Amino acid sequence: MPDEISATATAANDDIVLRGMGSFHVGGRVAEISGKPVRAMQRQPGGPLTPFDPNGQYAVEQMYVQYFLPRKRKGRVPLLLWHGGGLTGVTYESTPDGREGWVNMFLRYGWDVYNCDAMERGRSGFAPPEIWPDEPVFLPCRDPFERFRIGDGPGSWNPDPAKARVIPGNQFPVEAYTNFMRQAVPRWLSTDDAVIAAYVALVDKLGPCVILAHSQGGAFAFRVAEQRPDKIKAIVAIESATAGNIVDAPKLKDVPVLMLFGDYVEQHPRWAAFKSIDAEYADAIKAAGGQVDWVDLPDLGIKGNSHMLMQDRNNAAIADVIQQWLVRKGLSDEQ
């Protein structure tokens, strides 16, 4: 990693002034259901029974996007924030304990920020079981606690935060863990192609852009970039949970990539395996003449990070590392 990247947080604390904000849906398709019986339905308690016909066309597999445009724009292209599995764009809005999230921080850096709820999550909506036949996955509270390097391994979860076994020095705000689990949403295991199609539609709509993606979102970002390398100016992959298709990695030879990992990774086989996959993909990009910078945050003195780096107590320092890299790549003016 270049020596110029430091661990000093420099994001300003002045008010955010916008030139615009809004939201839209992008992508998706029309699916049709037929052959279902008409049934009586009481739409409101105490209301009359009326016929409901479930047959017909449905708008499905669209993606919700919320955007914020700062008055003082310094980012050269839009910045797209893509979240991880079982989560939504809330990941980047604010932390479980109420501190500022990366949406605000990158607005202060001067980026046009587009924060997404991936297809099949949150405000993007869902599809009937006739269209998505497999069952959604719901996470019990113990799962992310033990899997996201917050708790100290299997059996570390306890509903009483005072009794939970937290990794020593961990930066996640454990006292607000219940608030974090309130952000969790169902996910499906068979919809990846539709998720990627919606992300491709967003990239086509906005034109050249930078993608900042976390966990499962990182794998999607690489696969989208393989399809649209001319429209991706850079990828920031935050602990990407696998990468793209390695045979297609050379397509990213003109796309600068930052791969960033937090702490305790080597002590957890799951994350060590993902890191190894990401490193292999990075090597394939570099072998084709591309640029990949790698950051292990402890090497910069930023220690104790869980898998949810953007919500950890030192999230501002991590945002600053990313911003400095983007400045060095010529994608943003100086802070």
**193-242 residue pLDDT tens:** 999 999 999 999 999 999 999 999 999 999 999 999 999 999 999 999 99
**Residues forming beta bridges with residue 332, ordered by sequence position:** 75
Confidence at residue 335, expressed as pLDDT on a 0 to 100 scale: 61
Residue 158 burial class via C-beta count within 10 angstroms: exposed 0-12, middle 13-18, buried 19 and up: middle
**pLDDT for the residue numbered 161:** 81
Report which of 161, 155, 147 is spatially closest to residue 96, judged by C-alpha positions. 161
The span from the CA of 130 to the CA of 122, in Å, is 20
Q: Is 242 exposed, middle or buried (0-12, 13-18, 19+ CB in 10 A)?
A: middle
Q: Which ranges of the chain does DSSP label H, i.e. alpha helix? A: 102-108, 142-147, 177-181, 192-206, 216-227, 269-287, 315-328
| Regions in the chain scoring below 70 on pLDDT | 1-13, 335
Residue 13's pLDDT is what?
60
CATH 1.20.140.10 for domain 18-27+62-328, yes or no, is no
HSE value, Cβ hemisphere, 13 Å, CA-based, for 25: 15
SS3 83: coil
What pTM was estimated for this model as a whole? 0.94
